[in-house]
Homo-oligomer: A and B are copies of this chain.
Amino acid sequence: MKDNKKMVEAITPINEDFAQWYTDICLKAELVDYSAVKGCVILRPYGYAIWENIQKLLDARFKATGHENVAMPIFIPESLLQKEKDHVEGFAPEVAWVTMGGSEQLEDRLCVRPTSETLFCDHFAHVLHSWRDLPMKYNQWCSVVRWEKTTRPFLRSREFWWQEGHTIHETAEEAIAETEQQLNTYAEFCEEELNIPVLKGKKTDKEKFAGAEATYTIEAMMHDGKALQSGTSHYFGDGFSRAFDVTFTGRDNTLQYPHQTSWGVSTRLVGAIIMTHGDDEGLILPPAVAPYQVVIVPVAAHKPGVMEKAEELRARLSKFCRVKLDASDNSPGWKFAQWEMKGVPLRLEIGPKDMEKEQCVLVRRTDREKMFTPLADLETVIPEQLVHISKQLFDRALENRKNRTFTATTMDEVMAIADKESGYIKTMWCGDEACEELMKEKAGLSSRCMPFEQEHLSDVCPCCGKPAKTMVVWGKAY
């Protein structure tokens, strides 16, 4: 016989084993389940609801800047994937191949899309005629497949859910402006709605997207000091346009190639939320994307009028926030632990004594601050508290990043820091890929980005001593 009662089980302490703590949260907060398909997870209702909120907020931002949604096929013929040389080299080794349709062996194998530049280019070649048709600014929400060897929920899996924006423009300047605009959209979204501070910058050539001229990135720092690449925006120049023969008649009546961008964020962002904000009690969700922003827990629920009052409050709160009433027959203590695990930002407790005083207790998930609050004030206090929680989350994460950001001017310094700290290390860099590889070899660090906000730390590259060209932020990454 199976257990007929679930328990709120303890999770591994965050500072004891961060990786296990992460997995515990993914499973025990009921975000994901492992599936019958190796390396693929199931997004359960609570996990999917977070992603749904992310989608809604981002989609609105995309539409407000003139982007339109489309749906491209799930497959890419091998012959199409091969048209852009760098791109196929980057992706072909890690795709899933469909070789049979029904009982028919396919002549041209189909890969399950790992990303859709090639499909968009093929479509652009059909529908683009004149400069009047430009820009075309498309986006799609879908899942993609990459045959990863080691996988972790949200962070790296064989299938993941994402959006991919693909745009073409009349001029290089416009395309570059689009690339930057979309990176800024991501950064603002992460900071304002996910309460995750991000570092904006440009990837080195070694780390850029297969086929791109330039890749821009937002990097977030997790609780353990490791970096998570959280969104990227690519500028392609006219490389793909030429490879796919995408042309238009320009203002001067000559045939021209459009300039192209792509940009994406994925369910990785849910991983970023977990690892940026969570604690020993479990998940802590940013109010903007929490499936429930407030959970109502009735105390002494059997006493006359308590459940009725709780339901009345639920109905009232549902007009201005996402609210859940836990009317199950579990104890209040069990419910507190359960909803703390699930990271609901604000708990509202209501019992007979509170009812007498026409008040309730609000408890913030971030610091467990208990606030006796007159019932009449909820319409004001709850939105204020949600804003307060957002700010707390952002400030904590920023503080963690500050505490874990280091500066070095020599390789000895780099190695000494990397040896005892986990975080970002800022250094100057000569621009040579050999030095980038040395940094990996000697200190186990990869270049996260060349930040837009540059500082002058020294005159020379710490690896080779040659003149420095730019400042790089290095780190260990997920």
Residues of A in contact with B (beta carbons under 8 Å apart):
1-6, 33-37, 40-45, 48-49, 51-52, 68-77, 80, 93-104, 110, 112, 119, 122-123, 126-127, 129-132, 138, 142-143, 145, 147, 158-159, 161, 247-249, 253, 255
Instruction: Evaluate contact between A37 and B68: CB separation under 8 angstroms.
Output: no
Instruction: Evaluate contact between A3 and B112: CB separation under 8 angstroms.
Output: no
* Residues from chain B with Cβ under 8 Å of A96 in the complex: 75, 98, 100-102, 110
- 17 more A-B residue pairs beyond the given contacts A1-B255, A43-B71, A93-B102, with a C-beta to C-beta distance below 8 A: A3-B130, A3-B249, A6-B129, A33-B127, A36-B80, A37-B76, A40-B75, A42-B119, A42-B123, A44-B127, A48-B69, A48-B71, A71-B143, A74-B143, A75-B96, A97-B100, A142-B143
Given A36-B122, A93-B103, A123-B33: A70 in contact with B98 (beta carbons within 8 A): no
A-B residue pairs in contact (CB < 8 Å), sample of 18: A1-B249, A1-B255, A2-B130, A4-B129, A5-B132, A35-B119, A36-B76, A36-B80, A37-B75, A42-B72, A44-B127, A49-B68, A71-B143, A73-B159, A74-B112, A74-B143, A98-B98, A104-B147
Instruction: Evaluate contact between A70 and B52: CB separation under 8 angstroms.
Output: no
Instruction: Evaluate contact between B253 and A42: CB separation under 8 angstroms.
Output: no
A67 CB to closest chain B CB, in angstroms? 9
Bound Cα distance A123, B36 (Å): 8
* Residues from chain B with Cβ under 8 Å of A70 in the complex: 42-45, 48
* Residues from chain B with Cβ under 8 Å of A68 in the complex: 45, 48-49
Closest Cβ neighbor of A128 among chain B residues: B2
Instruction: Evaluate contact between B102 and A35: CB separation under 8 angstroms.
Output: no
Given A2-B248, A96-B100: A35 in contact with B123 (beta carbons within 8 A): yes
A244 CB to closest chain B CB, in angstroms? 10
Closest Cβ neighbor of A6 among chain B residues: B129
Closest Cβ neighbor of A328 among chain B residues: B132
A152 CB to closest chain B CB, in angstroms? 16
Closest Cβ neighbor of A106 among chain B residues: B96
* Residues from chain B with Cβ under 8 Å of A49 in the complex: 68-69
